[in-house]
């Protein structure tokens, strides 16, 4: 029995007839097939969510997290329909890349409004920008730490860049690096800066303090231009 099969079995026993769907999403299925090395994000759809219903899944969720996966995210079927306009980024991602492990597919026929897409994008982009500046303070004199900060943050930003492309009426590639480069082209950003950050991720050389700080300065400028483009898109 695989880890996913065991999870489905345990969760089925915990929730019984209250359980309606289990959906795998995120990095583990982003490439079109299961990536066992990636953390397995799971959406659990139930008929009702009372404290006792959630409490019944304690041992399953604890085990699931212990084996290296994020805890399951819970929604009722009614909440899926009601919340899609509030979280357009998340629901658009789920509607595009997912694998149903149990029950019905809650995204079939779901109308996802993009009315609030710009607002959620600006909120997420600005929040990450503020955090990036904060973390830079403690990384500025540690080139390896600064290089890793840029690699990790770009990975986080790339998922949002897909939706910035969608905001501007462009196709949004599933591949994160492709999305970054396509948005760079669309907005006239400095692609060389992003390429340099991807090179940091290979860990093939010793980074210099002056060089990483210069890259970060250029990187911060590109991110700010994306934020401004989203802010002025309406």
Q: Show Cβ contacts of residue 125 under 8 Å, excluding neighbours closer than 6 positions.
A: 157, 160, 164, 223, 226, 227, 230
- pLDDT at position 163: 95
- pLDDT at position 27: 76
Last residue of a domain, one of 103, 132, 163: 103
Check residue 46 and report its DSSP letter: E
- pLDDT at position 217: 97
Verify that 124 and 223 share a domain, yes or no.
yes
- pLDDT at position 136: 98
- pLDDT at position 146: 96
Verify that 19 and 60 share a domain, yes or no.
yes
110 is a domain residue:
no
| Full-model pTM | 0.80
**Which tens digits make up the pLDDT trace of 55-72?**
999 999 999 999 999 999
88 is a domain residue:
yes
Q: Please give the structure tokens belonging to residue 188.
A: 């006239």
For residue 80, what are the domain limits?
3-103
Half-sphere exposure of 208 (CA within 13 A, CB side): 3
Last residue of a domain, one of 42, 71, 103: 103
Domains of the chain: total:
2
Kindly give the parts of the chain with pLDDT less than 50.
Answer: none
**Which tens digits make up the pLDDT trace of 183-198?**
999 999 999 999 999 9
**CA 208/CA 141 separation, integer angstroms:** 10
């Amino acid at each position: 029995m695989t880890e996913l099969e065991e999870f489905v079995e345990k969760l089925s026993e915990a929730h019984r007839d209250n359980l309606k769907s289990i959906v795998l999403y995120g990095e583990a299925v982003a490439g079109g097939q299961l990536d066992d090395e990636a953390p397995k994000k799971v959406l659990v759809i139930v008929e009702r969510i009372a404290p006792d219903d959630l409490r019944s899944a304690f041992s399953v969720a604890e085990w699931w997290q212990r084996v290296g996966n994020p805890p399951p995210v819970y929604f009722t079927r009614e909440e899926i329909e009601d919340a899609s306009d509030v979280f357009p980024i998340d629901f658009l991602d789920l509607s595009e890349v997912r694998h149903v492990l149990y029950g019905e597919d809650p995204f079939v026929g779901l109308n996802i409004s993009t009315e609030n897409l710009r607002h959620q994008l600006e909120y997420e982009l600005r929040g990450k920008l503020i955090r990036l500046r904060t973390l830079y303070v403690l990384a500025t004199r540690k080139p390896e730490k600064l290089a890793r900060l840029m690699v990790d943050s770009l990975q986080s930003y790339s998922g949002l860049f897909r939706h910035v492309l969608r905001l501007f009426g462009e196709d949004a590639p599933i591949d994160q690096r492709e999305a970054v480069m396509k948005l760079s082209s669309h907005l006239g950003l400095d692609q060389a800066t992003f390429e340099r950050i991807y090179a940091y991720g290979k860990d093939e050389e010793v980074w210099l303090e002056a060089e990483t700080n210069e890259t970060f300065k250029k990187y911060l400028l590109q991110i700010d231009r994306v934020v401004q483009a989203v802010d002025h898109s309406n």
